Amino acid sequence: MKKNNKKHKKIRLMGLIFLLLFIYLILSLIYYILKMPIKNISIKGNNILNDTQIIADANISYKDSIFKISTNKIKKDLEKNSLINKAYIKRNFNGTIEIEIEENKLLFLNLLTKKIVLSNGEEIDNINEYIGYPILVNYVPSEIYKNLINSLSKIDDSNYQMISEIEYSIDKYEDTVIDDERFLLRMKDGNTVYINLVNIDKLNKYQEIYSVLDEKGILYLDSSSSNFIFKKYGENTHD
């Protein structure tokens, strides 16, 4: 009996040792994971902002523990930047933080306010940091202005980048207003385009239309017709 008791005690002692060792290993693993630093920061979707600016706005560094940082806080910090519409954050067990950015588009420089207007309607001051956006050259009534922003944000980048200037240009006959949502666009290729907000989506076909034009002129896209009117410069035109 005494030998059996000693044997059982020895087994229990070994079991306790293994249990303590297992607990120690688990705690060590948890400690290691919690202390694991950020090894890589992957950023996607940014065209206007550079990676350095995004990391700074996210308030993270390679010294931070990847599992102690709050992805929700990073998201909120990034979305404080007017140029960022949405931010998506993901962390991986290999030490990588993935940041995917959905930027607001730079729509135009408002010549009256000297500010850049974004696709979400916000305005930013640092106009000298960015290039490539068109210029709105005159006043637009407030409600039409809001509709203009919303409409232009839906134009794909390849066609939108062709616009150099935007001018509010009411269509009227004598003293009768025919269309108070019409705009004149001066294009970088030398053409002029008349467009209204109802037909703004026609701008997405601008490069397709331009490819069949053999000379510079005025393109009328402000009609509900599926066809377009094009008049070469020098021909009789109407405003």
Q: pLDDT of 94-138, one tens digit each?
A: 889 999 999 999 999 999 999 999 999 999 998 788 888 999 999
Contact 44, 100 (CB under 8 A): yes
CA torsion sign for 7, 9, 10, 15 is positive
- pLDDT higher for 32 or 2? 32
- Token pair of 186, please? 């001066």
Percent of the chain with pLDDT over 70: 89
**Mean pLDDT to the nearest integer, 178-199:** 95
Crossing angle (nearest 10°) for helices 51-58 and 71-78? 120
* Residue 88, pLDDT score: 97
**Would you say residue 37 has pLDDT above 60?**
yes
User: What is the pTM (predicted TM-score) of this model?
Assistant: 0.79
Categorize the per-residue pLDDT at 166 as very low, low, confident or very high, splitting at 50, 70 and 90: very high
* Residue 41, pLDDT score: 95
* Residue 239, pLDDT score: 52
- pLDDT higher for 150 or 129? 150
- pLDDT higher for 226 or 162? 162
**Would you say residue 155 has pLDDT above 90?**
yes
**Mean pLDDT to the nearest integer, 42-68:** 92
Alpha carbons 37 and 14: distance in angstroms, whole number: 36
**Mean pLDDT to the nearest integer, 42-65:** 93
Question: Exposure of 25 by Cβ count < 10 A (0-12 exposed, 13-18 middle, 19+ buried)?
Answer: exposed
